[in-house]
Structure 1
């Protein structure tokens, strides 16, 4: 909180360059803490005049917007403090005082309200910018009662809305299939992914993340959670207390982690697609064969399409390993796959559904997609680069921190970092695709003001310049501003990047400054590299001729990725990449299915020869790829070309649509929220899934505020996927009737019966809150309690078994459920009437057994 900002900061200013000890218990905003940190470096290369001026401005506006009045601060006049012109450049008034200092007050400023820059909407624009300074946590009116398993796993009493509730339920109900979960950022996707692991005592969950920084950040969070579990007497989630399998680990630590995966004692592990399909593959397969691979989670699953078809092909080869593991696992212990993303358009959903289908089971979809309500959108077009530079520098100086400035290229990011430092900023860093792990970690610690181990530290960065490689899974909830000194190549990239601000639910600002050459760069980046028909066909035939056939299948082959096509004498290090691109394109076309190579010992060899062969295999495995031919009809050249051409057309159409959507948004032709919502509507499984529009402010809505969709869109209520294996512990008692009545004598303790149901696979219960809590304490099975206040009760919407307890009569919703033929057990008193046959008891008209008999039969 910012209640003590002005008093605390003024005391520091009065004693500067000496810095007083910070008052214990002072309630300070993040901006004030950053200003105090910056003061310590003022006069040194650590802090520039623009750093201190921009932060003082933010503290003043935070106080004014939150508490009212006309706050001011009195600052020194001498260098290295800003001079009068410099204060004016950050939109602060500076008045000389009698003691030779300056009284500083902040003035409102906003980017242009619309691209017309005609003054219409300017007042609304200023209000929308001011909202980003308000120091008040958002209030949520969409909280819903937590299920017993959610409380047991995480200690939370509520869910953040129906989308999170249904996503969490789908995750723990998943019984060996793949589920796509579209859930907005800030709705607890991590907790959803952890639930299954935390509610069981055995089993491994592998979480695939796109960046090393994210893996290390998730490791830190998991270490905190594991320590809390140990304090409650629960076992640790790793025998090594390590959770990130990354390249910087010592070989011995990697080996120990692989052994823990094999043994099933590594309950959670974060890794990359590249590590999953190479050095971790054998351990994952053995874990699966032993029935210990519980779950594979793909975080930021939209990247399977966006990155997997281009520069990180392992995103699309890893489904082969997951499929191998699924097939190798015992029938009763198949792993579940959870595909998580906040931004799923049609093409990524189609690719995920195609690549992650397991066995004969289609991929399910839990659609909780919502438009972000935090950002206010601003756009500005520039005819020359100098004008764009002026706009960006102006915005960096005047908009709230923490702030991200995005560019499209590494060279632009490096140039902007230099330009910002020359303008007076010292507290600026950069992260691009060239940044190493140590550099990324250092920038994040200096920006967040805490170490990887959550130890508080001084901030030394307020602004980070980055390319699209920066920010995935960013654990920085209070970013206030995202600037773009570029035109992103798709609306997906733009929306993901502005979503890195406002993760705390508070308003944020998104300002895109477009320059004269941006469209050309965007189109270039938008054009996904795909091999042509003739070269692709030659490459494929060479791969097939170079492949070795699996001994147990005439349709499965293994090939070195580095195989050269006939038209090349040397690959220059790029041939392997084009080979994999060709094969992933073929997999999307349904011609082949990618697999991950496994070592198969020759039973006729001696133990030493087998070990030698195994060592040779693992030396070469990163250059190997397995594939399985699916459709022989597509092996004819023309059919092959037609199939690949169709996929290329789909990719280019999707990319073109994503760029055109961004252009529609950036040129102010339509409400930004409506454009985004339309882009994130998909068709799947015969249905259409919509995203409701929301808009805090954009050029169109500032001109016509009455037509704005506002910031309270209708919240989706996703349906739960139908279970593929329905638990039915009393199948022999109910016969052909999907309904079974279980008689409970008055005063009987139903706890043991409910516990037995849960132990035999039942998870969905319509019982009292107290009974549900007791049941969860008695069993490890995740217990889901039907919430009668929900807009989609389990009784009405879940097609799996629901155990219902009633004491008076059958509700209409229960009667309709029974009429639909959905599997239902009702527990009630012996004299419960049959509502369909007045004057008759349910025990006499339907299948019925006593509670004691039910216990005995289970």
Structure 2
């Protein structure tokens, strides 16, 4: 155990010493030291790294090295307690504490005492704690040395696990005097990364994006026409695979139905969904982790915080809402590096359900009520807006987010204020237009999911391009690439693809505005536009209509 650091920013030698002596880390992995040094030096950091790559070390090492206490915001209460216990073993009792809804009054008082007197290196908080004024005031009285946001994609409405509680974090950072912010996530598309940066107010952040490729996971899609045929195929697939594995389904009712059917086939299967009691969910989680279950049949409620290295398969009985969600869910397989399998059972008709869930604009009167409250009472915080409008926290957060993004509301350290010269009618109209833009983006992500399921090319190529990563176009470990002659076809396709449309190339469309290239084929390109999301464009039409799509700087 090493004493807490003091004085100037610690150098690389000191950071390596802390990593070795406190956490048993002999060598930093790729990108770790760069992120650790930046955070310890006072710079904001956004690190996108797969689970198992050592994201925790990125905040733990500077958290020990810097004088003061690091605040770690995490939505996973069970994982918070695991991390507190692990840090206690590494650093000694009391050096890490947590405040959340599961902590009793006595423990909470002890945790705050440890924060106030500086004996704690780490204070773990659930995001909803920061919606409480007394929590923020207590932190502001002794600002943290580091503000860590775990599962940072939860702040993005573009992300697959958006949580309105995260929307207060940017405001909290400013009220605390903007300590160095460290945002961590295992998966984030370019648009999600941009939104994390904006909403947390990151200043000139170091952005580290590790490769999204998981080459040990075989990717397959099985197409179906009839729902009954799909159900039988899913049961057969999971029964053959055995376990341990995960089966994702669309509804709570289906988790129970599939779990019962698998149990009849002799598998140790359990259902997991948000409607079950907390104690039941925790029991399923523990039994799966300990090897007492072969299969967990789950909705998306089961996922974050899973740290089981030997999951051999992830099967989806229903198409997810986006490739963000799909990547996160299949990424729970094969974390030990051994071969694993990800299978999507797909009916194109199922996409209609996702189109429905993509939703639309909030009620116009809700947006108007929030804007009027901001204009009348600003600067005002989210909690105060709820009290003044009578709306729930989620409705307030959604309306405020749209008003901010469309320029009708400004967020400062003191709270939200109306933009000068903005009328209620203008603010509401702009916010609803922003909502329509976000709806278009959501629909485009569903279409990218369709593209993954229906492509006759390399599925890994499609998936990684979505996250802005260049690929060779042939992986050898998906169903399409296992077809005879696929490697030669991929080489021919790559040779026929015109140059100048590399991934990341900035472009501007006559109607849709700025975007960046996310993939290229011989006859078309895929572009991610800020305003409307993903669009496929014919290169022939681009060439025939001068000015339709312009490469920036060309």
Regarding TM over 0.5, the answer is yes
Q: Distance in 1 between matches of 2:253 and 2:411?
A: 36
Match 1:340 to one of 171, 180, 184 = 184
Contact in 2 for aligned 1:448/1:476 (Cα 8 Å): yes
2:532 is the counterpart of 1:701: no
For residue 409 of structure 2, the aligned residue among 592, 604, 611 is: 592
- Cα–Cα, structure 1 residues 374 and 436, in superposed 2: closer, same or farther, change >3 Å? farther
The 2-side partners of 1:576 and 1:679 are apart by: 32
Q: In structure 2, what is the equivalent of residue 184 of structure 1?
A: 50
SS at match of 1:280: helix
Q: How far did residue 469 of structure 1 move?
A: 1.6
Deviation at 1:594, TM superposition (A): 4.5
Q: 2:452 aligns with which of 661, 665, 679?
A: 665
Q: Does 1:530 align with 2:336?
A: no
Residue 787 of structure 1 is matched in structure 2 by none
Q: Is 1:560 the counterpart of 2:389 in the alignment?
A: no
What displacement does 1:325 show?
0.5
Correspondences of 1:165-314 after superposition (within 5 Å): 165-173=33-41, 175=42, 177-200=43-66, 202-226=67-91, 230=92, 236-238=93-95, 243-278=97-132, 280-288=135-143, 293-306=144-157, 312-314=163-165
TM-score (norm. length: structure 1): 0.51
1:543/1:559 contact within 8 Å kept:
no
What corresponds to 1:806 in structure 2? none
| Structure 1 residue 548, shift from structure 2 partner | 3.5
Cα distance between partner residues in 2 of 1:304 and 1:206: 17
* 1:582 CA displacement: 0.5
Native 8 Å contact 2:361 2:435 kept in 1: yes
Q: CA deviation at 1:338?
A: 0.6
Distance in 1 between the 2:34 and 2:490 partners?
25
Distance 1:324 1:663, change over 3 A: same
Preserved CA contact (<8 Å) 1:206 1:271: yes
Aligned counterpart, 1:544: 374
Q: Hey, what's the Cα distance between the residues in 2 that align with 1:280 and 1:709? A: 56
Deviation at 1:379, TM superposition (A): 0.9
Give CA-to-partner distance per residue, 1:784-812, whole Å, 9 cap, x none.
Answer: xxxxxxxxxxxxxxxxxxxxxxxxxxxxx
In the other structure, the counterpart of 2:273 is 432
Which residue matches 2:32?
Answer: 164
Task: Flag structure 1 segments of 5+ consecutive residues without an equivalent.
Answer: 1-145, 231-235, 328-334, 450-458, 550-554, 566-570, 598-625, 682-688, 711-858
Q: Which residue of 2 aligns with 1:354?
A: 198
Quick check: 1:323 aligned with 2:174? Answer: yes
Matches within 5 A, 1:630-649: 631-633=419-421, 635-637=422-424, 639-641=426-428, 643-645=430-432, 647-649=434-436
Equivalent-residue separation in structure 1 for 2:139 and 2:490 (angstroms):
47
Give the 3-state SS of the residue equivalent to 1:628 in structure 2: strand
Deviation at 1:259, TM superposition (A): 2.4
Deviations 1:68-103 (A, max 9, x none): xxxxxxxxxxxxxxxxxxxxxxxxxxxxxxxxxxxx
For residues 140 and 305 of structure 2, the distance between their equivalents in structure 1, rounded to whole angstroms, comes to 28
Give how far 1:401 is off.
1.8
Q: 1:165 to 1:690 in 2, by over 3 A?
A: farther
Runs of 4+ in 1 over 6 A off after TM superposition: 307-311, 691-694
Equivalence map 1:76-115=2 (5 Å): none
Q: Per-residue deviation at 1:219?
A: 2.9
Instruction: Provide the rounded CA distance (Å) in 2 between the counterparts of 1:250 and 1:283.
Output: 18
SS of the aligned residue for 1:377 comes to strand
Deviations, residues 472-510 of structure 1 (Å, cap 9, x unaligned): 131111111101111101110000000011112222100
Aligned residues: 475
CA distance in 1, matches of 2:303, 2:113: 32
More contact order relative to length (CA 8 Å, sep ≥ 6): 1
Q: Residues 694 and 478 from structure 1, CA distance in 2 versus in 1: closer, same or farther, beyond 3 angstroms? A: farther
Alpha-carbon distance in structure 1 between the residues aligned to 2:160 and 2:482: 39
**CA spacing shift, 1:428–1:208, aligned 2, 3 Å:** same
Deviation per CA, 1:449-475: give whole Å up to 9, x if none.
2xxxxxxxxx42121111112111311
1:29-40 alignment to 2 at 5 Å? Answer: none
Q: What pairs up with 1:739-758 in 2 under 5 angstroms?
A: none
Asked whether the 8 Å contact 1:701–1:707 carries over to 2, the reply is no
CA distance in 1, matches of 2:329, 2:401: 27
1:460 paired residue number: 292
- In the superposition, relative to structure 1, how do residues 693 and 478 fare at CA in structure 2: closer, same or farther (>3 Å)? farther
Report the CA distance shift for 1:708/1:195 in structure 2 as closer, same or farther (over 3 A).
farther
Contact 2:322/2:449 (<8 A) preserved:
yes
Structure showing greater Rg: 1
Contact 2:255 2:297 in 1 (8 A): yes
2:270·2:284 contact (CA, 8 Å) conserved in 1? yes
Q: State the alpha-carbon separation in 1 of the partners of residues 117 and 348 from structure 2.
A: 58
Looking at structure 1, the residues matched to 37 and 490 of structure 2 have their Cα atoms a distance apart, in angstroms, of 30
- Structure 1 residue 708 displacement after superposition: 9.3
Displacement of 1:311: 6.9
User: Is the contact made by 1:405 and 1:464 (CA closer than 8 Å) also made in structure 2?
Assistant: yes
Q: 1:521 to 1:649 in 2, by over 3 A?
A: same
Equivalent position SS for 1:326: coil
CA displacement, residues 319-348 of structure 1 (integer Å, 9 cap, x when unaligned):
111210126xxxxxxx21111112111321
SS at match of 1:702: coil
Does 1:412 find its partner at 2:192?
no
Superposed CA RMSD: 3.0
Residues 1:408 and 1:155: Cα distance change in structure 2 (over 3 Å): same
Give the 5 Å matches for 1:113-152. 147-148=16-17, 150-152=19-21
Q: 1:493-504 to 2 correspondence within 5 Å? A: 493-504=325-336
| Cα distance per residue 1:180-215 (max 9 Å; x no partner) | 112223211111121111334x42112212222322
Verify: 1:390 aligned to 2:179, yes or no: no
Q: Please, which of 628, 634, 643 is the counterpart of residue 417 of structure 2?
A: 628
> How has the CA–CA distance of structure 1 residues 500 and 364 changed in structure 2, closer, same or farther, with 3 Å as cutoff?
same
Correspondence 1:485-524 to 2 at 5 A:
485-515=317-347, 517-524=349-356
Where does the alignment leave 5 or more consecutive residues of structure 2 unmatched? 1-14, 492-554
User: CA separation in 1, counterparts of 2:141 and 2:420?
Assistant: 32
What does residue 519 of structure 2 align with?
Answer: none
**Secondary structure of the equivalent of 1:378?**
strand
